[in-house]
Amino acid sequence: MSKHMLRFTLSALLVVAFLITTPLVSAQDDRPTPRNATSEDAVKVDLLFVGAHPDDESTATATLARYVLDHGARAAVVTATRGEGGGNAIGRELGPSLGILRDYEERQSLRMLGIDQLYHLDEIDWAYTTSASATEQAWGYEEPLGKLVRYVRVLKPEVMITMNPSPRGHGHHQYIAKLATEAFFLAGDPNAFPEQLSEEFIEPWQPKKLYYALAYGAAGLAPSVAIPTNEFSPSQFATYAELEAVALGRYRSQGWSAVLPPSERALMPENFTLAASVLPMPEAETSLLEGVFTGVDHAPARVELHLTPSEFYVSQGGTLGLDMTLVNNSDIDLHDVSLSLSGPDGWTISEASAPVDVPVGGSASQSFTITVPDDADVTAFTTLVGRFDAVDDAGAPRFASARALIQVTPPVSVELQPIESVQIFREWAQRNNIEHLIRLVPAEIAIGAGETAPIPVVLNNRSESDQDVTLSLTVASDEISLDAPEQTVTVPAGEVITVDFLATVPADMAQGQFDVTVEATYGDYTLSDAGVVQVVPTTTATRLTAAPAIDGDLSEYAGLEVLDIPFTAIWEGQTTDAADLTGSFSVAYDDDFLYVAVEVMDDVVVSNIAPNDVKGHWRSDSVEITVDPAGPGASEHTLTTFKTGIFPFDTEGNVQAERDADANQGIISLTAPDMQVASSRTDSGYILEVAIPWNAVPGEVAPGDTIGFNVLLYDCDKADAAIGENCNEARTAWSAWGSIQGLPRLWGHLTLAE
């Protein structure tokens, strides 16, 4: 027998002897009990980003990479649309087909961040708009909100990140941020979308914190947390900015490309504003997940502390209430819990609550009454600090605090009336108790050259007595005159009134922006507010007795006023000189059509749009014409307007037109079949002649009416642009302001001559 065989035999005998002399243990006794899988094991996340389009997570890409790749967090992204309304830099796909491509790109990009969960609300990426309310009309409200609440309840995020709901920038971004904010509050409310609980057997879930990513514009919001991007990822041996650049480079159809080293902007920290939290809060945050798993101060993790003031604005000498609730979702019983509230010196606040025990799963509440001193500070927010004090089973102290902000006002406050989109936002912020986030641009009042219009001033009397207030208004322009620069009015107790100052702008005044200030004095108070007057161009459309032939020959418009669009009238991009992009136009009308004759000087006329790709006129050389029949500044968004984009020449040399971002988008043959368009080449550029049928313009117009109107020029200058490529470099306009294509309020004014 070999040595190996002998060793095996002896080993086997020893095992048999052990089994004979040792009692057998039941397999049932020592086998670990298997744990059943749950839905949380499958899909629960720590972070949930909610955006409108593929690539919107670019506002937080480096941050997501940090938490997922290096801190073990799980993350998911919910996107409202699939981005099917944009351009395509790598192919011919459009609409739903483009959405398939962009969905693929988004999944590829997120995979590089370690994120494998991507969900959609299946809303339509219908057009660029500056209005959240226009987006709401396109998407609806209950359905997308319910879907988002469902995602929150199923994915159970600890922290939500979304975009900025302030009324600036893309309306889709604003509206998805509004929906995400409401979903944050509603997902934990069993009374919200109760059918999800009864029919789908899911449970309410309250995320702990909500942040607004500020990369697409802060609109006055101050960051609560700044996450560095120039630090190294230890797992990837690259900076987070580099990881972001490579991940976003997957969005090829949108023209993204991986740029290494990253640009200076990419190396800047990613900033986030804390919009809401149910957790006690530290004095300063350094992480989006701070306090979620570890607790804050001496509070156990998952203890919630809610502070809800009865109102945000309160007058000097006034009173308000505040409800405080402690929810113990931790695994530690809390004993002798008392709730207290403190404010600035001189403020009177009711006593702390009597001590009570709050076991795991329990809660305690207290209502406080706050009296504001007559001389309370009105220049900044006032911070109220709520605190709980308790002990645990071992007698160790447990405590933490949270803060609520309120704004003290004088008995009567004064402000220049904000534009409609700002008023809509303020009302929404009030309904959702986030008024402390209102940090908006100054009031803006658009007036046409040669017109007289009101500058409205709003007075809000929050006191219990009538107040006589003297108002004085100044405009930083010697050319703009006021009918009565000073007025004295009585503001009844508890009421809001509007006082109009009539301003007249000279007919020959150029487009521009001028500071305006209102000062209010009463008693010992002197208050002020500032804004701007925006002067927009005006003209008159001649009423024709004979219709011109739409043939690209502008000789029939001889004798009509010619309005210039100089190369310096830029609202986006850059031009070099007059030969690069200069325009002029004349306008007339009759009972059937609005006629616009446009001549463009363009040293490189690009024709890279195929006949079957008539969409997205901003991609190439084109002319946009906008009409707001409701009147100057009447429309908050473009869904009540007519907007057409016209390519002077497609790849086969023919003129093409579409409607974009209004209530009836698509090629003209389907959306405005009576519209007529002709083009012709010139030695220095091209000519467009357009007849817009009144039957395609929403609403009714009549001789003598003044309507909103604008002509916008788009320039490519890339002679070898690929078919369908987005090569737009410069945008000019008759009325030229940032995002002017979506702002009817700032279009020029066109009067239809009688």
**Three-state SS annotation for 286-299:** CCCCCCCCCCCCCC
- In angstroms, the CA 738 to CA 722 distance is 28
- DSSP conformation class of 375: T
What integer pLDDT is reported at residue 29 of this predicted model? 63
Rg, C-alpha atoms of the chain: 32
213, containing H or E segment: strand 209-213
Angle at 360 between CA 358 and CA 364, to 5 degrees: 30
In one letter, which amino acid is 343? G
Nearest to 708 by CA among 697, 718, 719, 716: 697
Intra-chain end-to-end CA distance of the chain, in Å:
122
521, containing H or E segment: strand 512-522
In one letter, which amino acid is 452? T
> Helix or strand or coil: residue 315?
strand
Cβ–Cβ under 8 Å, residues 696 and 675: yes
Nearest to 710 by CA among 617, 609, 632: 632
- DSSP conformation class of 330: S
Structural domains of the chain ordered from first start: 42-277 (3.40.50.10320), 303-409 (2.60.40.10), 439-536 (2.60.40.10), 538-752 (2.60.40.1190)
Tokens of 576: 């070099």
pTM: 0.90
Residue 72 burial class via C-beta count within 10 angstroms: exposed 0-12, middle 13-18, buried 19 and up: exposed
405, containing H or E segment: strand 397-409
- In angstroms, the CA 421 to CA 131 distance is 7
> Helix or strand or coil: residue 706?
strand
> Helix or strand or coil: residue 180?
helix
Nearest to 641 by CA among 710, 703, 735, 584: 710
- In angstroms, the CA 105 to CA 87 distance is 14
- In angstroms, the CA 416 to CA 423 distance is 12
H, E, C per residue of 110-177: HHCCCCCEEEECCCCCCCCCCCHHHHHHHHCCHHHHHHHHHHHHHHCCCEEEECCCCCCCCHHHHHHH
418 upstream amide cis, omega within 30 of 0: no
Residues sharing a CB contact under 8 Å with residue 3, sequence separation 6 or more, in sequence order: none
- In angstroms, the CA 50 to CA 43 distance is 16
Residue 702 burial class via C-beta count within 10 angstroms: exposed 0-12, middle 13-18, buried 19 and up: exposed
Nearest to 329 by CA among 307, 354, 306, 355: 306
Structure confidence by residue, pLDDT tens digits, 430-464: 999 888 887 666 899 999 999 999 999 999 999 88
> Helix or strand or coil: residue 590?
coil
- C-alpha dist (Å) from residue 335 to 358, 386, 387, 398: 6, 18, 15, 9
Nearest to 325 by CA among 158, 191, 206: 206
Cβ–Cβ under 8 Å, residues 146 and 195: no
Tokens of 675: 């519209």
- In angstroms, the CA 533 to CA 504 distance is 11
746, containing H or E segment: none
- In angstroms, the CA 459 to CA 452 distance is 22
- C-alpha dist (Å) from residue 157 to 60, 176, 204, 289, 419: 16, 17, 12, 11, 36
Q: Pick out the chain residues at pLDDT < 50.
A: 1-25
323, containing H or E segment: strand 319-328
Cβ–Cβ under 8 Å, residues 273 and 367: no
- In angstroms, the CA 694 to CA 642 distance is 10
Tokens of 206: 């309250």
- C-alpha dist (Å) from residue 176 to 146, 235, 335, 632: 13, 33, 42, 29
- In angstroms, the CA 159 to CA 293 distance is 11
Work out whether strand 47-51 and strand 159-162 pair parallel, antiparallel, or are unpaired: parallel
Tokens of 667: 């090629």
Cβ–Cβ under 8 Å, residues 703 and 752: yes
Cβ–Cβ under 8 Å, residues 295 and 301: yes
- In angstroms, the CA 350 to CA 320 distance is 11
- In angstroms, the CA 671 to CA 32 distance is 68
- In angstroms, the CA 216 to CA 229 distance is 16
Residues sharing a CB contact under 8 Å with residue 504, sequence separation 6 or more, in sequence order: 451, 452, 480, 481, 482, 483
Q: What is the DSSP string of 32-88?
A: PPPPPP-HHHHH--SEEEEESSTTGGGGSHHHHHHHHHHH---EEEEES---TTS--
